[in-house]
Structure 1
């Protein structure tokens, strides 16, 4: 794709999932699969595509057996750099670290743009209340064989309000289909939605909730990221793309939801009521929580567009997905480190297979202790503090997006006796699979300084790799033959 074409795509900023899908189709990154069953088959196909294709397409499943053929499920929304850039209104040709760098610059400079409250929208094409409500009409998947049920909410929005301050929060907490008019809700301790819930039920009052199941992926990103405290997620998303998000105030709860959402419910959680929820295969790639009693929402109103699309992002093993999370979190960690005063950071990356559990930082060493400072701040700034495990600090000649280079740096520039530090009693959570039940509030961190030792860095052995200039010269001279060889062997691997 040319730069001009990329610019034309990113200039179109309608915050409507259907417009976004048209742009993805123009990128030739959208596929359609018809006839996959909601029970395991849809989830299995999603996982197989992620395993087999290095740049997996977004996939729309339609004609799900037993349902209206035009009611669809969308998966793999953000699994390539191009679709991530498109969603964030960044140039599509950016590679990983330049994309992270431009994104963090945008995050530093942007100002939230207040959401635009509108009286109506496509979401009200169908309205059901009372006995009319039937969530079973939608092709809600059972994603994994060990899941305790069908999960409607995996790439969605959960809107709540602080009963004391009136401040609204938009989060992404898993939602299980319990009945035609009931959904289970699991929120990890410490999350804003959980705090709102606890305050409300402590006062003995029903807890109002609105949920959207199908929306532009920008809003899903906003709901699942660590948006700065006190900033509304809709306003943050609007600031990121430079235009306000159209929202509607819910007729029953007053909670705001996207005017262009696909499916929305309004309801409430009654104090003391619960239903069995889970287990669910979560983002670390494990069933980290057992089936247990959790609150559920009694649905009072259901709104949906004609031929609605459920957006899904069921967690599989993170070895096969997670690009957008890596970019967003790397950008926020990088900014957090700079704000704390760490100098000469050349890159921050969270390898998608590790998700939150590993941060790799490249620095140009400026002083004794610089690498240790970078490692400590990376794992304890706000964006890096929750559910981390390892921080690796490398020199700026290492490509931090290349796992082989990072491992090479660890094995040749660090010594376990002098290059490793452990931090104990750091912030963990219920989904940490290695922490035993009853102790999941805390975990530890390892900081690995995989840099040339400061004391004798000038005498450290030189690398034997060819220089960038030599590589460029001979790659250009032998371009045709190299491309032919690469094409033959790439095809052989595919065969």
Structure 2
């Protein structure tokens, strides 16, 4: 089983590592209104481009920087986790599946101080506008400091600490908003405070080691502390300081953090933001206001962006591999046997299309696998299509998947429509009512029919033994794909 190695916890060590590996491109002089976001859009249209570090942003203090395009590269994901840099996407999915099955837990360590406290402001000294937050897309309704972020909250009943990756817009020096879809842990926690008649404490952290940030987007089960999971992933306790106004745990090596309170009914206009579905589906709406009580940042802070857009994009590509691993783990935990692979396709924002490969063991096995994949926690949110294929099909190879759909699926018997499923207002095909937080989805069984497996026509393809013989004999003199 692949194991991640111990990593440094601050973003700057990650930047140095990526630069040494030839995975970083530095750009000077791009403005925050159109040019930073425009350059990011171009670079994330194709998987494998470099991480982008923007410096000398016009109109802002020298040294205040912006980092984006973190994870649109399997190599960078691997380096971030301390895995072999030539790891395949399939191996990465298997790593996450094994990690979820055998997750080491290392609780955070509270420390007295850290670089995040190099600059601390309260009251009239708070100024979020001094950070060069870009307008990431031309059609965005404002400046989103929270895309590559951690949003930290605490359950008022159990004391459980949760952090997620929710979008956050800057409106004024001490005013921001947060948008968490209904059913997300942050939304549940906020409502619990408001039901008690109390404001909800919140901290937003922008600029941490990407390994720590990546956990914010994982489907960690309700009640489980993401810091414990991140510590296990990083191989050491995450060092945290207590927020001076909320007491919430904030990474000591973070670049930027602000904390404050959300009062019930206190909402301001937010959006639109070009989202991970590739559309402006959310529009302009009222979202919870964060009245900022403190702003902390390192000297020469670095804002990180993980930008949603038309797939492929930085917001969804890296999540696809661990979401597939999480779905795989949750299917096995639900009792589905012989799962051979899972893929969460990038074209669906790594959520809307899941392909599951199984070795059929009994009648109804394929249908069971599809239904559970579509409704387990890691697969349920905003899913649209689940395809179940046999073990001879690579779930990450769409040519093979479409071939299986065309030749092994009978639409009369093998397609089910599920209604009233968990979705989001960001889904352009969510139900057209005032809530728009449910959708329908298809479960497609593209497997050989159970009662015809033994007499199913033979596949027209070389045997594995012949492939091995030909590659050994002719491979050195033929093209690399041979």
Give me the TM-score of the superposition, normalised by structure 1: 0.92
Q: Which residue of the partner structure matches residue 323 of structure 1?
A: 317
Q: Which residue of the partner structure matches residue 427 of structure 2?
A: 432
Given candidates 380, 384, 387, the residue that maps to 2:375 is: 380
Q: Which aligned pairs between 1:307-322 and structure 2 lie closer than 5 A? A: 307-321=300-314, 322=316
Distance 1:327 1:267, change over 3 A: same
Moved more, 156-165 or 195-204: 195-204
Aligned-pair CA distance for 1:480: 4.3
Q: Which residue of the partner structure matches residue 266 of structure 1?
A: 259
Given candidates 147, 153, 161, the residue that maps to 1:168 is: 161
Q: Which residue of the partner structure matches residue 332 of structure 1?
A: 326
Distance 1:284 1:395 in 2: 29
1:26 pairs with 2:20: yes
Q: Which residue of the partner structure matches residue 238 of structure 1?
A: 231
Distance 1:54 1:301 in 2: 38
Q: Is the 8 A contact 2:56 2:63 kept in 1?
A: yes
Distance 1:450 1:388, change over 3 A: same
Q: Is the 8 A contact 1:289 1:431 kept in 2?
A: yes
SS at match of 1:290: coil
Distance 1:439 1:408 in 2: 38
Aligned-pair CA distance for 1:208: 1.8
Q: Which runs of 5+ in 2 are unaligned?
A: none
1:413-442 Cα shifts (integer Å, max 9, x gaps): 112112212222222222211122425232
1:454 pairs with 2:450: yes
Aligned-pair CA distance for 1:320: 4.6
Q: Which aligned pairs between 1:43-58 and structure 2 lie closer than 5 A? A: 43-51=37-45, 53-58=46-51
Given candidates 174, 177, 189, the residue that maps to 1:184 is: 177
Aligned-pair CA distance for 1:17: 0.9
Moved more, 183-192 or 474-483: 474-483
Distance 1:317 1:470 in 2: 41
Aligned-pair CA distance for 1:481: 4.0
Aligned-pair CA distance for 1:279: 1.1
| Paired positions, count | 478
SS at match of 1:178: strand
Distance 1:105 1:373 in 2: 22
Q: Which residue of the partner structure matches residue 464 of structure 2?
A: 468
Q: Is the 8 A contact 1:320 1:353 kept in 2?
A: no
Distance 1:228 1:88 in 2: 21
SS at match of 1:124: helix
Aligned-pair CA distance for 1:167: 2.4
SS at match of 1:107: helix
Moved more, 269-278 or 69-78: 269-278
Distance 2:152 2:47 in 1: 34
Give me the TM-score of the superposition, normalised by structure 2: 0.94
1:340-394 Cα shifts (integer Å, max 9, x gaps): 1111111011011112111101111122211111111111122112211111111
Distance 2:327 2:171 in 1: 37
Distance 1:213 1:170 in 2: 12
Distance 1:292 1:382 in 2: 27
Q: Is the 8 A contact 1:81 1:323 kept in 2?
A: no
Given candidates 18, 30, 34, the residue that maps to 1:36 is: 30
Distance 2:158 2:392 in 1: 49
Distance 1:29 1:340, change over 3 A: same
Aligned-pair CA distance for 1:283: 1.1
SS at match of 1:356: coil
Distance 2:204 2:402 in 1: 42
Aligned-pair CA distance for 1:203: 3.3
Moved more, 348-357 or 464-473: 464-473
